Amino acid sequence: MMKWSTSLRMMLCTVLATSMIAVGLGTDRVEVAEAASDHYKFDFGAGAVTNGYTGVSASTAYTAARGYGFNTPANMKNVSASGSGVASDAVQFLKFGTKSDNTFNVDLPNGLYEVKVTLGNTARASVAAEGVYQIMNMTGNGATDQFQIPVTDGQLNLLVTEGKAGTAFTLSALEIRKLSNQPVTNRTIYIGGDSTVCNYYPLASSVQGGWGQLLPSYVNNTTFQVRNMATSGQIARGFRDDGQMEAILKYIKPGDYFILQLGINDTNAKNNTTEAQFKEIMRDMVRLAKNKGATVILSTPQGRATDFNSSNVHQAENRWYNASTRALAQEEGVTLVDLNKLSSAYFTSIGPAATLALYMNGDSLHPNRQGASQLARIVAADLKRQGLNGF
């Protein structure tokens, strides 16, 4: 199937002085020539193309003349999806991994871009670009999210990759918008953590929440963007060694914050991590981020909803290797948000019943959306109290 090149699309727009020109290419696929070279919209799959988008099927190979396409289309597959519009079909990545060459490539002028992804049908999948993770563990059919990325080599290379083994890794739509000619991310708050911190989808309406997901509500968004790299079940060793810390270190810079909260899963015997090992792995990540010029913040995890004594005082200081996190913050001279103690004080003030209502039903560990919002509020308030700006 013939595709119009990016340069031809732009030439047509200039000559005709229109904001958008749709050019029919058969009965089921439509190419769109867009007026603005800083805004690109792709609709993936074999079905009809949504108005305003450029259609891309699994067989669309990248060529320099076209300016976009799959690097190895033999490793792609057209699949259906259960959404509507751009989410009614998708492509599936049959080969994946952050270092995979099975990417969707788009030629772009160097600069800073905002990339919005819409997945197809998938249980859990992550998004990678430029060889590192960008979004962790998007869940549910038709999930959407976005991220900032600097392009420095004239091309974006993106794929959907493993979030959970055995599930399909699919992509329904991609929207790319240029933010700046300077290929540098805005000031960023990077977050590392586990299931009490991570994102749940849909981001705006999920029943369960992690406090990292809700933190943007308490951040000055003209100053900072928030990049939550936390994932369910994560331990310190896994965060450092399995790609999440790598992604942060690729982009983190002076003026950025790195908030790290782990320990809950590290204390589980199956993860074979002693408290001494946990502390040294955390120390390694603290120093790596400090060496990039970032402000590092350690946080202790909140306790369980049921950690009340007979006097209805909530207390969980000795959980989750908290003592080592507190000691490490002092030893390395970094900011500590003692969320464990701060949340216990809050839970004590509202009482056991109201505290339980901030957690998932039948689950004393994981906060619901309301609980995550309260934890995010506490984190932001404590950082503001300690003199950090942006909250």
Catalytically active residues are: 195, 363, 366
Contact present, 233 and 270 (Cβ < 8 Å):
no
Q: Give the burial string for 120-156 (b: 16+ CB within 10 Å, else e).
A: bbbebbbbbbbbbbbbbbbbebbbbbbbbbbbeeebb
> If residue 117 lies in a helix (H) or strand (E), which one and from where to where?
strand 111-118
The helix/strand count (H/E) of the chain reads as 9, 20
Q: Which of 81, 96, 93 is nearest to 46 (CA)?
A: 81
DSSP string of 58-71, one letter each residue: TT-B--TTT-EEES
Q: Say how far apart CA 384 and CA 391 lie, in whole Å.
A: 6
Q: Give the burial string for 26-62 (b: 16+ CB within 10 Å, else e).
A: eeebbbbbbbeeeebbbbbbbbebbeebbbbbbebeb
Q: Say how far apart CA 149 and CA 141 lie, in whole Å.
A: 24
